[in-house]
Amino acid sequence: MLMPTKNRRAIYEYLFKEGVCVAKKDYNQKTHPDISNVTNLEVIKACKSLASREFVKERFAWRHHYWYLTNEGINYLREYLHLPAEIVPATVKSKPREPRPSLASREFVKERFAWRHHYWYLTNEGINYLREYLHLPAEIVPATVKSKPREPRPAFTGDRLARVPKMDSDRDAYRAAEKATEAGPGAAPVSGYRGGYGRGAGAI
C-alpha cells in the first residue's frame, strides 16, 4: 500500500519505541488512537508488511490486531530510523526489580553472628508468616518448638533395690547413740561399762 513516508516513519517510530502495536479491525477509522495523523488502515497495512518479512509476530483476537517486534525487526527498524545501539524498545528494557524486604527486617527471625557464622532463629511472627506462606496446618511446628518427652528414670528392682543402703535405720541408730553419749553412762544401758577405781568404787 502506498502511503506518505512521514506516516510510515511515524508508524515505525511508535512500533520501535513500544515494541508492540495494536490496531482494531476497522478499515474506515480515520485515525489510529496511538499514532496521530495516521489512519488505522495505514497502520494495519504497514504492520502486515513487516509481518510478511518476519520482522513482527502477528496475533488476532477480539477484532484487534497485535504485532510484536522480533529481534530481526528491531535491527531492521534501528537501521531504518538510524538509531544507536543503546536505544531499545520498551519490551526489551529490563525493569529493575524492587528488593523484597528480608525476614530479619520484618522481625520474622532473630539474627546473630559469631565466629564468622550467621545464625537465624524463627520468631513467633515468623512461624505464623511461613505457615501462611507454605499453607501448613497449625499442628505442624518447627523442631525448636516441639516439646521433647523426658525419658523416665529406671525403677529400682531386683539386685539394684537390695544394694540401696537403708538410710532410715542407720540414721535412727546414730541418733540413739548420740543421745546416750550426751546423757552419761547411767542414762542408757551400755554393754561392757565398768566403774572406775577410787572412793566409792565397787569391788572387782
As a whole number, mean pLDDT of residues 97-113 equals: 78
Angle at 139 between CA 135 and CA 141, to 5 degrees: 80
pLDDT tens, position by position, 65-81: 999 999 999 999 999 99
pLDDT at 92 over 60: yes
Q: Which residues contact 151 (CB under 8 A, 6 or more apart)?
A: none
The CATH code that applies to domain 103-145 is 1.10.10.10
What's the predicted TM-score (pTM) here? 0.48
Question: Does CATH place domain 5-92 in 1.10.10.10?
Answer: yes
Range(s) of the chain covered by CATH 1.10.10.10? 5-92, 103-145
